[in-house]
Every structure is written in structure tokens, then in C-alpha cells.
Chain A
Amino acid sequence: MSNPGTTIIIREVEFPPEVVLSEKKSQLRSFLISRRALIRSALALSATTAMRGLPFAQAVEAGLTPAARGEDGSKFLSDPNWKPTFLNDQQNETLIALSDVIIPTTDTPGAKEALVNRFLDLLLSIEPAESQRQFTGALASMDRESQKQFGKDFHELAIQDQVWLVTPWSYPADADPWVGEESSSNSVQQHFLRLKRLIAYAYYGSEIGQKELGWDGEFTHGPYEGCEHEDDKHT
């Protein structure tokens, strides 16, 4: 909280010395060091102002998001004692199996390693009841179809049978002008596509998924160069 009782007067805004960014990647390291130096100098400034009786430090501590405090909020994902908070064990197993079919480990890690089920369980735990029902309904429809064709739940199937079952649903259906919205929106294909969208979102949003897309952790690679074609073909 900002200092109660007194009016807060700020006499200077923190403004660390000019930082000149190198366009060369080789100089990024010194740049990163200067970033840390900046943080130190900023902290020092807060401390000095606080000692002068100006409640600057308290003022800036108030109302920070966990991100602004530098907290890594993803740590819960790898907790060895993790248990689902929203999904039941059956639903969790179905989700893990399905995510592994849609985004398997290839030469790069897949959705199972990215702990997609854990992130989705967290999101579901805060979703409105209607979205929760839609999700669990979609998972149940995977088991229903699996039972119909194989007499087993989805996660009990062999991987090749899981692939066989869902592959046709993963392609766009040909639109039938005579079929109304109602019959299609809750079809097993719609359920599958909804789950696929969420699994893909959770996978590509994870650290493993970002690396799958080539993310290298650097926050700069120099200026944007745009089109580099000499002719005007732009192909």
C-alpha cells in the first residue's frame, strides 16, 4: 500500500542512463548485463529516496501484477505432487491420451510433455460452468464413440486405434445446406475440433510449444528488415 497519512510527493521519476542497443547479437551479452545494472541502480535510487523520507519505494511496490514482480507463474505445472483440480481422473486420462494423439512427440516433444492437460485443468477450474460442461461433454463424447466402435474407453485404446478413430474428424466437413446448425454444433466432430483447438492453444503457448515454433529466448535480433527482395516480385 502506498504510504498512508501523508501526501506522496515525487520529485524525480526513475530514469536510468541512456541504453544504446547494439544491433549485433554478439554484443547482446553486455546489453543484458547493463539491464541488470539498471535494475540495481533503480533499486538503489528507491532506497535513497526512501531514506530521504519520500515513500517512493512503497509507492511503486503497491499494486504490481505477479508478472511485474517477476514471478514465474508456470512452476505449478511441474509440481511432482500435481493433482487435477477440475478434471476427474478419467477425464484427465482421456485428455492426456487425446492431446498425445493430436500433438505427439516426434523429433520434438509433444503435448503430453508440454503438460497440456495440467494447464487446461487450471483454466477449466476458473471457467464459467457452461464452458466446463461443454468441455467435459466433449471429452465424454470421445469415450462414447470409442465405446461404440471398440467397446473400450478412449484412453484404453491402442495408439493406432486412437489415430484411426479421430483422423476423419480432424478435416473440415463438407457443408450440407440441408443440415441445420443444431445437429452439427454438438456432433462428435465439433466436439473433437473444440478439444483440438484448446489442446493446440495450450501446447503452442507452453515453453515446449514456443520452442517448437523456433523461439530462442532472445528478446531482440536487431531491427525489422521487412521485404528484402531486389525486384518487385515479392514471392
Chain B
Amino acid sequence: MAQDPLQQIYDVIVVGSGATGGWAAKRLSEAGLKVALLEAGRSVSAKEFTEHMPSFQLKYRNHSPEIMRTRPVQRQCYACMEYNYEWFVNDLENPYSTPADKPFSWQRLRILGGRSLVWGRQSYRLSDVDFKAASRDGYDTDWPISYADLAPYYDIVEGYVGITGAAEGDQMLPDGKFLPPMKMSCGEIRLRESVKKNFGRTLTIGRAAILTQPHNGRAPCHYCGPCERGCFTYSYFSSPFTTVRDALKTGRCTLITDAIVSHVDMDSSANKARGVTFVHRATKETKQIRGKAVVLCAQSLESTRILLNSSTREYPNGLANSSRMLGHHLMDHVVGGGASGTFEDLKTVPSANPPHRPNGIYLVRFRNTPAEGKHPHFIRGYGFQGGAEPQFNLNASGIGADYKKAVKLGNYGVSLGAFGESLANFDNFCEIDPDLKDAWGIPALRISMTHGKNEAALMHDAGMTAAEMLEAAGARDVRVTTGTEMPGMAVHEVGTARMGNDAKKSVLNGFCQSHDVSNLVVADGSCFVSSACQNPTLTMMALCVRASDHLIERFKRNEV
């Protein structure tokens, strides 16, 4: 019988096994450190993947009453389906509150790999236009790091994960180490050329964490389509079958599933974290695990909740919160602006069969760039994601044989949807709700966030520019949306434990290390200073690897 894993002292306790936690576990254990990796959910197996199951075999064809009953929030996520809803948290067991006039959609998974199992896979680097945005427009503060600091870590992450994409040389979106790009459709090529010629803007094929050639022992994409239901060739990046697996292979990483971490335990006399307390998911027993350092990778809001629930006499407002910034500056990309139309002159041959390209197109941010200058109505900017392809036309007129024919003839749809920067705002925050606990007795969050005027202006502008670009490319029947969806719907929440050089104004330093507690690291999206408009996961992973390497150096220097 092996030693009881809870009676040992680990070098590092990593909380969370998703995109960042997997990287922390891999990096630290490969450097020789003894790691315990804690996951709140169960393990996952390729046996439960459903990517090849036709939707007519779902009893309710994705309208399962079980989802309605147990996942009223989670079902707002496009990836939460009758196929895989058990991967998402049960909302009845995992409550949170919001003010009545500030709805927030908190979409999350508790299972080995977390949201990396169902993520959108879009992977874009931030640039110095993002890291030093405050210096240009005077809003809020710059990041404590620059692109040069992070570029080597982007290289490491991209080299391992495998990102398909095309280099464009656009300063707003630094190029990376790409696997061969996926192909574009006729409509997309037409839009790309029109956008370049008429507006001088860059439209590129999506940069995605999906393999287009064999890579690190994983096979390339077979274009079946629905990655969020799993992939039995592991062609899209998810942590259980990559980083976590590597960590376990070292023999120095112990994975503990069903461990719902409630708080970080402190050694108050030394002012150091000495481990974490968790509740066992099934038995609800409380247990402790000890480590010389603690790395939180539980996802922004969840890591913040753990710290807020870890108050001590020395830190009465939440652990590592002497700055009173913990929980504040919550951001989530604003979505809702965009346009769609049809290319009536393009031949339509819609197909119900694969290949289905699990990737779209990306239109690089063109507002408030160094080249274009300041926009009169808003700061920062947005990027577009979308696509153009033949589609079946169930809305065709008529009945009978003519209708059946018209449905199959279809039309050639084209669409662009914006992801806009969400400004860091102290008044967008989360705190502990004193009257609400989850099913394990752990105090729950109260989330208070709204998109402001700048975000509304971004989406208004995005609707307009999308329509202009589609019409210039020859699209007809163009429809525009200019609203803002509720925060949380982009599932890009970041920023609640911001990094900075000033310990009075930030929670973490540039290496994701707590200013207050030297052996506490928060290496997920909560460290973001600004949201930029690019999908954040690639940057989170790069920051996490940088934070892990810094921690390894400190172990080597005996500083931990």
C-alpha cells in the first residue's frame, strides 16, 4: 500500500487541472518538484466522448429537461449540450448570486481538464498595444510586463500545444509558431480580399489549438466538427491528455480528483501558505494537504473565491488582499455586435457530411491602432470572428416538393461577430455572499458586473463596420446587431487578482506571485491587468509557464 498521499509534504500544491493548472503541474514536476494536483471534479475518459454520435440519437435532440433543471445557467453556454452536460457544474449545487439588475453568466466545468475540454480553441497573442494600452490612451494602468517578457513563453506554449494559423505580420496580432493553416472557403477568400483592398484590414484564418499535422504524439484533426464533445485522436488541445499526462509521467505528480478546495491554509507566524483545505466531493469530508508553495489555477472567479474564503486575523479581507484589489476589475469580453448576410452569387452546395472545419476566420483589431489613431467615441477595440459557408435553408418559403428542394439548395451565409475589450473597472467585482453556500458548505460568490458605455460603443461600432465590410464584399440581405450580451457570455472572465509593480494597487507581481504571501502564486486568468480583445487562454498559459519557471528558480535558490 502506497503512503497516504495526504500525509506527505509536497513542494507545490496546484489547484485546478485545466489549461493553466495542467501547465503548472507539467512544468513544476518536470523540473524535479514534487507536486499534488487537485481537481474539484472527477476524472475524464475518452470512453465518454460523443463527437461522432448523430444528434437524432439524443432523446430530446439537445432539449433535455435534465439540462433545463440542473444547468439553467450552464445551458447558456453553446458547448453545454445533451451530449456532455455532466461535464458542466450542476447549478443547483454550485450557486452564486448577482444584484437583480446585473445578471452574469458563470459557465464552468468541474472535471479533469476543466474548460479545456470544451473551449473554443482560438489562440491569439497579445501585443504591446495591449500590454501598454494605458500609456497610449491614459485609461487605468499598464501591465507590469511587456511583450518581450512573454514572447518566449508564447513560443514554449505554442510549440507544445500546436496552433494552426497563418502569419500575417500585423503589429496588432503578433505571429507565432504555427502549424499549417486550415483552408478558407470561397466566401471567406472573397471577404478577405475585399477587406484588404477596401479597408486595409487583415482577415486571417482562425489561429486555433487544433493539429493540422501530427504533433507531440497526437494525430491531426479528422474534421468531424464538434470538438466540444471530445476528440478520440486528441487533436485539439485539452489538458488531461497532454500537460496533465506529462506531469503524471514524471512520477512526481499526484493527481487528486474530487477535491473541492475551500481555502488556503496559512502559517501565520511565518506569513506563508502551508497547504490547502478541501472537501471531498462525494463524502463531504474535510481534508488538508500540505505543501511548501501553493499555486491557484482554479479559474479567475474560483481562485478569487478561494482567497476571499481564506481570511485570517492578519488578512481579514481575504488572503493576499492587503491592497483591497482582490475580486475587483472583473472583465469579460463584450460580445453582441456584428452582422450577417448572404453571398447570392456564390454557388451553394451545403453538406450534412464532414469535413466540418472546427475553426473560423479572424479579423484583426483595426480601431485605435497606432496606425489609424484615436477613435472619437471609444478607446481600445474589438476583433471579429466568423465565417462564410453554404448552409441549408430551413427558412425557405413554400411547402411540399418545392420546399424540400429549396432547403437543399440552401444559401451562402457569411457572418462576423465581435469580441470587444472589456475595460478594467474597480466597480466590476466579486465578493463572498454572506447568505449563500454551495452544496459542500463553502461560501459562494456574489458577482457584480455590467458592461459600460465604452463597451456599448464598441459593439455599436462593430455592428456598423461588420455590415460595411460584408456589403463591400458583395453580401446581400445584411442584418446587423449592435447590442451587448450579459457579462460572462464570452466565457473570458479575467482580472480579479491583477498583477502590478505597486503592492498597494495590485494583488500579484509580474510573476503571478502574491505581494503579501511569497509562496502563494495565482497563475490563471485572474492576473490580467486588461482584457485586450483577443481570446485569453493562450496568454493565460504563457503567463502560467512564466510564473512556474519563476517559482522553480526560487526553489533552486532555496527561497521558498
Chain A interfacial positions (CB closer than 8 Å to B): 1-5, 7-16, 18-21, 35, 38-39, 42-43, 46, 56, 59-60, 62-74, 76, 101-104, 106, 108, 119, 122-123, 126, 163, 166-167, 170-172, 196-197, 200-201, 204-207, 209-210, 212-227, 229, 232, 234-235
Q: Is the CB of A60 within 8 A of B232?
A: no
Q: Is the CB of B392 within 8 A of A21?
A: no
Q: Is the CB of A67 within 8 A of B61?
A: no
Q: Is the CB of A213 within 8 A of B190?
A: no
- Let me know if B92 is at the binding interface, CB within 8 A: no
- Let me know if B269 is at the binding interface, CB within 8 A: no
Contact A67 to B84, CB < 8 A, known contacts A42-B45, A206-B56: yes
User: Could you mark each residue 28-66 of chain B with 1 if its beta carbon is under 8 Å from any beta carbon of chain A, else 0?
Assistant: 000000000000001111111111111111111101010
Q: Please give, as numbers and ranges, the residues of chain A lying within 8 Å of B400 by CB-CB distance.
A: 101-104, 106, 163
Q: Is the CB of A126 within 8 A of B63?
A: yes
Q: Is the CB of B57 within 8 A of A224?
A: no
- Let me know if B357 is at the binding interface, CB within 8 A: yes
- Minimum C-beta distance from A36 to chain B (A): 11
Expressed in whole angstroms, the Cα–Cα distance for A210 and B57 within the complex equals 12
Q: Is the CB of B221 within 8 A of A223?
A: yes
- Let me know if B471 is at the binding interface, CB within 8 A: no
Q: Please give, as numbers and ranges, the residues of chain B lying within 8 Å of A234 by CB-CB distance.
A: 186-187, 189-190, 346
Partner of A227, one of B57, B68, B184, B234: B184
Q: Is the CB of A213 within 8 A of B186?
A: no
- Minimum C-beta distance from A183 to chain B (A): 22
Partner of A15, one of B58, B245, B355: B245
Q: Is the CB of A19 within 8 A of B5?
A: no
Contact A102 to B83, CB < 8 A, known contacts A8-B256, A225-B355: no
- Let me know if B241 is at the binding interface, CB within 8 A: yes
Q: Please give, as numbers and ranges, the residues of chain A lying within 8 Å of B392 by CB-CB distance.
A: 204, 213
- Minimum C-beta distance from B2 to chain A (A): 8
Not counting A13-B255, A221-B354, a sample of 6 additional A-B residue pairs whose C-beta atoms are within 8 angstroms of each other reads A7-B256, A60-B47, A65-B86, A101-B400, A122-B59, A222-B223
Interface residues on B, range: 35 or more
- Let me know if B436 is at the binding interface, CB within 8 A: no
Q: Is the CB of A73 within 8 A of B58?
A: yes
- Minimum C-beta distance from A124 to chain B (A): 11
Expressed in whole angstroms, the Cα–Cα distance for A82 and B109 within the complex equals 37
- Minimum C-beta distance from B13 to chain A (A): 14
- Residue on A with the closest CB to B281? A2
Q: Please give, as numbers and ranges, the residues of chain B lying within 8 Å of A15 by CB-CB distance.
A: 234, 241, 245
- Let me know if B218 is at the binding interface, CB within 8 A: yes
Q: Is the CB of A126 within 8 A of B60?
A: yes
Q: Is the CB of A65 within 8 A of B403?
A: no
- Let me know if B554 is at the binding interface, CB within 8 A: no
Q: Is the CB of B6 within 8 A of A123?
A: no
> Can you spell out 11 A-B residue pairs with CB atoms less than 8 angstroms apart?
A8-B42, A8-B256, A10-B255, A21-B219, A59-B43, A73-B60, A170-B403, A218-B353, A219-B51, A219-B52, A223-B220
Expressed in whole angstroms, the Cα–Cα distance for A208 and B332 within the complex equals 42
Q: Is the CB of A67 within 8 A of B219?
A: no
Contact A2 to B42, CB < 8 A, known contacts A222-B223, A223-B223, A227-B183: yes
- Minimum C-beta distance from B391 to chain A (A): 11
Q: Is the CB of B68 within 8 A of A126?
A: yes
Partner of B83, one of A3, A12, A65: A65
Q: Is the CB of A73 within 8 A of B57?
A: yes
Contact A101 to B399, CB < 8 A, known contacts A7-B5, A218-B353, A223-B221: yes
- Minimum C-beta distance from B412 to chain A (A): 10
Q: Is the CB of A235 within 8 A of B219?
A: no
Partner of A67, one of B53, B112, B244: B53
- Residue on B with the closest CB to A60? B45
Expressed in whole angstroms, the Cα–Cα distance for A67 and B186 within the complex equals 36
Q: Please give, as numbers and ranges, the residues of chain A lying within 8 Å of B397 by CB-CB distance.
A: 170-172
User: Could you mark each residue 233-248 of chain B with 1 if its beta carbon is under 8 Å from any beta carbon of chain A, else 0?
Assistant: 1100000110011001
B 454-482 contacts with A by CB, 8 A: none
Interface centre among B193, B233, B346 (most CB of A within 10 A): B233
Contact A8 to B44, CB < 8 A, known contacts A68-B50, A223-B221, A224-B223: no
Partner of A4, one of B43, B53, B233, B282: B282
- Let me know if B404 is at the binding interface, CB within 8 A: yes
Q: Is the CB of B355 within 8 A of A214?
A: no
Expressed in whole angstroms, the Cα–Cα distance for A62 and B47 within the complex equals 13
